[in-house]
A and B are shown apart, each in its own frame.
Chain A
Amino acid sequence: MLIPRKYQSIAASAVLLVTSLAILSYGAVRLSETGFLRKVILETAAPVQDAIHLSLLGLENLWKRYLFLVGLEDENRRLLRQNAELAQQINRFREESLEAARLRKILDLKRDFPQGAVAARVIDRNRSSLFKTLLINKGTANGLQTGLPVLSEQGGVGRIIETSWHASRVLLLIDETSNIDGMIQRSRAQGILQGAGRRGFNLKYISRTEEVRTGDVVISSGLSGVFPKGIVLGTVTAVSDSDGGLFRKIEVLPAVDFEKLEEVLALQKELRSKP
């Protein structure tokens, strides 16, 4: 060996630290790029995540629906089982009906962007509170690429930050690293809508001279080129001038309930901007 044995540990430590630090530096500078290795891992893990997610949801439903039956009298058990089966059947019909309604809304939305939108199913959501992302079941094979905006029938959801062939990760608008151009629909005052985690958004750089009221709707201004103009993003919940600066402090409640998203629509690049 070139390196004496007693220094091998130090050398290996240094190499590992420098390599990982180099990857971190690269990652911090090029946030939007998806490397090949990362694509492969995402592609490999997505079906497993989907399967685990669906199995656990099934288990959870089973737990909630059937556990209370244990220990009841036989007659009660039979009646309750029958009741549960009927309830499950009704629930299935209701679920299918709700799904059809959701898909109809997505299709209606898709018609607003002819030939330029891809409907996708949410197959997992990041459960840590630090990184607010979703995984959807469409990728580059379906024409998706990083940077594309993602909508639901309620409004703007986020943008794609990495893609594999059949899965993509969406950075939600409420993530602290998300910034997009927003506009108060009533007064047309424009600012930057920054994600604020579970608190929703902060609308920044709105001058104190602008009139902003609680309940004002915030829409995308279309300036940054990510979202088309006019997509609903949220509603103003609090306006404050307390910090004494040039700008107002505006808190915005997202239009989209990110916890309940099941289907979304990714807009394709060429038709992203409306006239």
Chain B
Amino acid sequence: MIHGLLLPVGLLLLVVLQITLPGLFLPGGIGIPFSLIVVIYAGFHLGVLRGGLLSFLLGFFLDCLTGAIFGLHTFFYVLIFLLARTFSERVYGEKPALIALYSGFCALLEGLLIVVLYRLVFGIDILYEIPRTFVPQSLLVVLLSPFCFALLDRLGVFQHAENSKPARPI
């Protein structure tokens, strides 16, 4: 019960830290998408309902606090969670290299989806953001995701949820 109440607060704090911290340390407005890494982690370790709601909340908080188009991250995070979950059912997702590559791919995919959405919905071309923002961001995710996965495992953030891969009731 307490875990269920504290988790949204923790997620909100994570998003606040994500948008407040990196600009001070990284040049060019490149952020470290910790929330995306958590979504991918959830895809590997949680059931559809629990992980989906977690991804939904993270995306929702990010939408609220970044001033992004409302629903942008909410939708993409749910989509990435479902992709990660589908992927994790087909591979053994505990190898750091695989985690890193797949997380990097998801970060890049999110960037590409944003570019496509801007083009289709608003008619605005932000292709130049791919090399300037999304590629460096994906590389950061590649570097950090194995450590974040290990940290999340160690912290036991989702200890009350499903612990490992095999059974995944919703």
Given known A8-B170, A12-B48, contact A130–B69 (CB-CB < 8 A): no
Q: CA separation between A60 and B20, bound complex, in Å?
A: 13
Q: Which residues of A contact B63 (CB under 8 A)?
A: 27, 38
Q: Which residues of B contact A24 (CB under 8 A)?
A: 69-72, 74-75
Q: CA separation between A38 and B168, bound complex, in Å?
A: 32
Interface centre among A8, A45, A125 (most CB of B within 10 A): A45
Tell which of A23, A42, A176 touches B75, judged by Cβ atoms closer than 8 Å: A23
Q: Which residues of B contact A49 (CB under 8 A)?
A: 16, 19-20, 65
Cβ of A35 to closest chain B Cβ, rounded Å: 7
**Interface residues, chain A, with chain B CB atoms under 8 Å away:** 8-9, 12-13, 16-17, 19-28, 30-31, 35, 37-38, 41-42, 44-45, 48-49, 52-53, 56-57, 60, 124-131, 133, 161-162, 169, 171, 176-177, 197
Given known A13-B48, A13-B82, contact A127–B75 (CB-CB < 8 A): no
| Contact bitstring B14-41, A, C-beta under 8 A = 1, else 0 | 0111011111100011110000000000
Tell which of A22, A37, A129 touches B133, judged by Cβ atoms closer than 8 Å: A129
B61 CB-CB contact with A under 8 Å: yes
Cβ of B66 to closest chain A Cβ, rounded Å: 5
**Given A16-B48, A53-B20, A127-B31, 15 other A-B contacts at CB below 8 A?**
A23-B74, A24-B74, A27-B69, A30-B70, A41-B60, A42-B65, A45-B12, A48-B16, A125-B23, A126-B19, A128-B29, A129-B29, A129-B133, A130-B114, A176-B118
B49 CB-CB contact with A under 8 Å: yes
Q: Which residues of A contact B24 (CB under 8 A)?
A: 56-57, 60
B64 CB-CB contact with A under 8 Å: yes
Cβ of A96 to closest chain B Cβ, rounded Å: 23
Q: CA separation between A49 and B64, bound complex, in Å?
A: 13
Of chain A, the residue at the smallest CB distance from B86 is A13
Tell which of B20, B22, B71 touches A26, judged by Cβ atoms closer than 8 Å: B71
B4 CB-CB contact with A under 8 Å: no
Main secondary structure of the interface of B (DSSP, over half): helix
> Of residues 63 to 121 in B, which have CB atoms within 8 Å of A's CB atoms?
63-72, 74-75, 77-79, 82, 114, 118, 121
- Contact at A126–B67, with CB atoms within 8 Å? yes
Q: CA separation between A49 and B21, bound complex, in Å?
A: 10
Q: Which residues of B contact A23 (CB under 8 A)?
A: 60, 70-71, 74-75
- Contact at A16–B133, with CB atoms within 8 Å? no
Tell which of B67, B74, B122 touches A161, judged by Cβ atoms closer than 8 Å: B67
B146 CB-CB contact with A under 8 Å: no
Main secondary structure of the interface of A (DSSP, over half): helix
Q: Which 7 A-B pairs have the closest CB atoms?
A: A27-B70, A127-B23, A24-B71, A129-B29, A23-B71, A133-B67, A27-B71
**Interface residues, chain B, with chain A CB atoms under 8 Å away:** 12-13, 15-17, 19-24, 28-31, 47-49, 52-53, 55-56, 59-61, 63-72, 74-75, 77-79, 82, 114, 118, 121-122, 124, 126, 128-129, 132-133, 168, 170
Q: CA separation between A19 and B75, bound complex, in Å?
A: 8
Q: Which residues of B contact A56 (CB under 8 A)?
A: 20-21, 24
Q: Which residues of A contact B66 (CB under 8 A)?
A: 126, 128, 131, 133
Interface centre among A48, A49, A52, A130 (most CB of B within 10 A): A130
Q: CA separation between A53 and B160, bound complex, in Å?
A: 33
Tell which of A21, A41, A45, A127 touches B22, judged by Cβ atoms closer than 8 Å: A127
- Contact at B48–A52, with CB atoms within 8 Å? no
Tell which of A38, A44, A127, A162 touches B19, judged by Cβ atoms closer than 8 Å: A127
Cβ of B74 to closest chain A Cβ, rounded Å: 5
Q: Which residues of A contact B122 (CB under 8 A)?
A: 177
Tell which of A20, A21, A130 touches B126, judged by Cβ atoms closer than 8 Å: A130
Q: CA separation between A125 and B55, bound complex, in Å?
A: 24
Q: CA separation between A226 and B49, bound complex, in Å?
A: 44
- Contact at B64–A12, with CB atoms within 8 Å? no
